[in-house]
Amino acid sequence: MEQASEKPDVPMASNDVPRDSSPNGDRKRKRDDRDSGRGRGRGGRPLQHGSHQHKKRNMGRKEHFAQQLDRRGRNAEQQERNKQKAEDDENPKPALPSAFPSEEVDAEERRPKRKVAVMIGYSGTGYKGMQIDNKQKTIEGDLFNAFVKAGAISKANADDPKKSSLVRCARTDKGVHAAGNVISLKLIIEDEDIVQKINDNLSEQIRVWGIQRTTGSFSCYQACDSRWYEYLIPTHTFLPPHPSSHLGKKLEEFAAEKGDLEGYRERQAEVANFWPEVEEKHIKPILKTLDNSIRPLVQEALYNVDAVDAPPGEDLALDAAMETEQEQKSEPVADVEASAETAGTKEEFTAEPDQNTSTEPTDQEVKETVDAIEEQHPSVNVNSDTDGTTTLPDTDVQRHALEAAVKVLKKAYLDAKKAYRISPERQARVQAALSQYVGTHRFHNYTIQKKFSDRSAQRFIKSFKVEDKPIIINDTEWLSLKVHGQSFMMHQIRKMVGMAALTVRCGTHPDIFKVSFENNIVRIPKAPGLGLLLERPVFDSYNEKAAKQAGREKIDFSKYNKEIEEFKEREIYQRIFREEAHGNQFNSFFTHLDNYKDPIFLYLTSGGLDATKKLHNKSTQQGKWEDSEDENASGGEG
């Protein structure tokens, strides 16, 4: 008995277990005898469907609760890791003020709160979006802190925005700017200079334009009739893909195959000579100077080696949105002073030359291209040891010479793109594409996690127009696109711009827009967030009814036009122009698209949606094109 009690309470093979005359031993022996029947269940019966002989047995209560303790232990470890990660984050301090001591709260004079609409503008650079978040730097977080410091929110309410009934009109994503937005809440506004006090506690990136008394039941989200957004985009994004790029070749192939070659070339007529002229004037002279051992490798690298295979199950790099995370990590870029002058039909901004407005490709781009050459040509030895003075074997090429050749050719292509000036005919095609969105449509393909049957995907676009006069900044021409809609879903505007730009540059038949509104799956990449800003929300219904009846002033941004325009120029437009000049985000985005080998974008060709369907594994593509972790269905507009 004593010996049996020392043995572990674990089933063992029957031939290893000593025979025991105890009741426990009998039960154990019976169980072992039953288990010895290979492939058989309890009582020797065959195993049931869905079971197997090594299936985990039911646990007793003691063992079950012991495992639950282990699980809690694992959770505690994970919580500790999360806590450490939060402490190591870029913004370790809480975004909201801590609760004031009860003595200070009790001693504070009680003053009345009024329901108000706060009209604001901000540059989203470096912020994790509009909505308040106690763990991250947000626009509302900085605003709320400024309200508390200015005395517009009492110490009793300083630790929780809900106590002030804070509501936002439009929730913008990280990095997105707003010339005009509104939040509604209860504030103490007795001081005549309260707006100035609030602005004194804000960075230059955030401004309060004005504070208007509203009706007691006012909610800026519910009362907003519609919203205006602006998107700034370089005109070179409307150039066709290079004929040697993957997409450029497919456009010609499908046009010929479908008998649409004449129609395709008519849709590209005004830019048909762009690439041949660039090759003749800028590229061939450079190629002639290259060594024979380098020339074919570089030519292939520019458009063939750069082509990107689609790794199965991975999100597309370009759809990670070229978000402007680098804005939060890179060193501040010096301001570029610019003034507007009307020159003919175009507005031209002149700026002092700046080291960050270079069209040089980045060292990383050059390195990736050279690495790709090595991968594509394993027989070629890229030699890093020589300085060019030593004669190399025929199978060797000098790395420095190869990198220099890649760099100068990439710069030549980029310079040619930036020197492009859009023609009235091409600009008319851009307008025609944007006009396809006007009216009520199902925009399920222009957001995330929406199906055709989801009624919330139905949206009404009032207008979508290109400003007549392009502007020229640091030798790059830009177009301003302005959209007026009732409301927008997550990423909707960026995907609308992305689709319009793709169809124009690829000479796609306009019917593709209708296809995208119907019960089809069309994978549309979202254009870079860099160019997007909220222009202003509109409150016409509230102004004409509730405000007039209650004797309240209208919520109207027009009275602050001068200040807003100065702010847009200084804090929004110039940031956009500098960041594009510094990082070439638009060029990288569309070049990546042009050289993406997966057939997912072949709906842009004359083959239409069928060109992607017959080449796709639907389930694989569905998983691949889900947006990244930080993007969820509850995100901001645009």
Location of structure tokens 């380098």: 294
Using DSSP bridges, classify how beta strands 471-473 and 346-351 pair: parallel, antiparallel or unpaired. parallel
Check whether 229 is labelled as a binding-site residue.
yes
Backbone angles phi, psi at 356, to 5 degrees: -90, 0
Contact yes or no for 586/497 (Cβ under 8 A)? no
Helices (H), 268-316: 274-278, 284-288, 295-300
- The one-character DSSP state at 232 is E
Backbone angles phi, psi at 182, to 5 degrees: -135, 140
Q: What is the rounded CA–CA span in Å between residue 620 and residue 601?
A: 15
Terminal Cα-to-Cα distance of the chain (whole angstroms): 75
Q: Which of 173, 306, 594, 598 is catalytic?
A: 173
Q: What is the rounded CA–CA span in Å between residue 295 and residue 301?
A: 10
Whether the CA torsion 448, 452, 453, 456 is positive or negative: it is: positive
Q: What is the rounded CA–CA span in Å between residue 149 and residue 134?
A: 17
Select from 507, 524, 506, 526 the least CA-distant residue to 515. 524
Return the number of other C-beta atoms located less than 10 Å from residue 566's C-beta.
11
Using DSSP bridges, classify how beta strands 177-187 and 532-538 pair: parallel, antiparallel or unpaired. parallel
Taking CA atoms, 637 is separated from 21, 131, 191, 229, 490, in Å, by 75, 11, 34, 10, 5
Beta bridge partners of 347: 342, 471
Backbone angles phi, psi at 115, to 5 degrees: -75, 125
Q: What is the rounded CA–CA span in Å between residue 305 and residue 326?
A: 26
Entry field: residues in the chain: 638
Whether the CA torsion 294, 295, 296, 297 is positive or negative: it is: positive
Q: What is the rounded CA–CA span in Å between residue 21 and residue 255?
A: 87
Whether the CA torsion 289, 291, 292, 295 is positive or negative: it is: negative
- The one-character DSSP state at 60 is P
Contact yes or no for 430/504 (Cβ under 8 A)? yes
Select from 320, 278, 323, 249 the least CA-distant residue to 595. 249
Location of structure tokens 């207008």: 463
Q: What is the rounded CA–CA span in Å between residue 283 and residue 234?
A: 22
Radius of gyration of the chain (CA): 32
Contact yes or no for 405/290 (Cβ under 8 A)? yes
Does residue 173 carry a catalytic annotation? yes
SS3 552: coil
Active site residues: 173
| Binding residue ranges for substrate | 229
| Binding residue ranges | 229
